[in-house]
Structure 1
Amino acid sequence: MTNNKELIVYTDGSSRGNPGPGGYGAILMYGGKSKELSAGYRRTTNNRMELLAVIAALEALNRESLTITIYSDSQYVVKAVKEGWLKKWIATNFSGGKKNKDLWLRYHALSQKHNIRFVWVKGHAENVYNNRCDVLATTAADGKHLLIDQGYEAEG
């Protein structure tokens, strides 16, 4: 990957019940190639899966200093970054019962390595990539051999 091209990432998370079994899906597109990622968890929340989809995409990268546009239908994820909620949460050590500290700190560390822009997309609409991520996420949530969401289950 070279730094003059943009990596496009679509993400989605799903939870069958909130909490319940969940999954995420992500599609990474770069230079005419694409890669799909997904995983399912036995007990989690929708917001955790939305955020974990972003994290999984960033953790799959083998280079730093990339220009990345991430498309998500999660207002929670997009607004937390774009509207500065995450900066406030980190500054106050997630006081006031803010959830998903483990994942937000993981995302924050990864985000420092790249130039990331978030774009909100309407879920379950006409966007073929968002719809594909939804299929990846729900299929993973409905799968067998589900993983353990250590951060969620440790809180519970």
Structure 2
Amino acid sequence: MGRRLIIEADGGSRGNPGPAGSGSVIIDGGSGEILAVVGRYIGVASNNVAEYTGLVEGVRRALVIDPDAELLVRMDSKLVVEQMSGRWKIKHPAMAELAAQARDLLMGTPVRFEWVPRLQNSRADAAANKAMDLRTDFDD
């Protein structure tokens, strides 16, 4: 079994829609070490679009760190977790486009999606809020 990376992803908007941002935290599954924190300022978008952006950007960054890693995506968005797991349909066009981007990035990569309570996703939430506060992208 190869390396496992954990992606904690989140997104939010101040208003729905409103100024939006996403946050992703990449963690080494063995050591628990934080390998990267990514924030994206989206502009005006819905909360759900911001959540999907957090997913896409987290996957993108994790695969740069280790393209052969097994991924565990942890999110507090039940909607995104259920849609990406194939249990719920995606009706919104912008969300469908972001989900397709995520699927393309994940092609051939072992991945599991897990819903977590909001309090267990505070690092990704903080990154999303930082992106909204700064109104810019960052990659720490």
- Category of TM-score, reference length = shorter chain: 0.7 to 0.9
Aligned pair in 2 of structure 1 residues 145, 55: CA closer, same or farther (>3 Å)?
A: closer
The 3 A distance-change label for structure 1 pair 145 and 54 is closer
Equivalent in the alignment of 1:81: 84
Unaligned regions of 5+ residues in structure 2, if any? none
Distance 1:82 1:145, change over 3 A: closer
* Unmatched tracts of structure 1, length 5 or more: 90-96, 147-156
> Could you tell me how far apart the structure 2 residues matched to 1:49 and 1:41 are?
7
1:131 to 97, 104, 122: 122
TM normalised by structure 1 equals: 0.75
Where does residue 19 of structure 2 map in the other structure? 21
Q: State the match for 1:58 in structure 2.
A: 59
Query: Deviating runs (4+, > 6 A) in structure 1?
Result: none
Q: Distance in 2 between matches of 1:84 and 1:8?
A: 22
How far is 1:113 from its partner? 3.1
Over alpha carbons, which structure has the higher Rg? Answer: 1
18 and 116 in structure 1: CA distance in 2 versus 1, 3 angstrom threshold: same
Tell me the CA shift for residue 29 of structure 1. Answer: 0.9
Between the aligned residues of both structures, percent identity stands at: 27
Higher strand share: 2
Q: TM-score, normalised by structure 2?
A: 0.83
Q: Alignment RMSD, CA only?
A: 1.9
Which SS does the other structure have where 1:101 is aligned? helix
1:142 matched to 2:133:
yes
* Cα distance in structure 1, aligned partners of 2:136 and 2:8: 25
Report how many aligned residue pairs link the two structures.
131
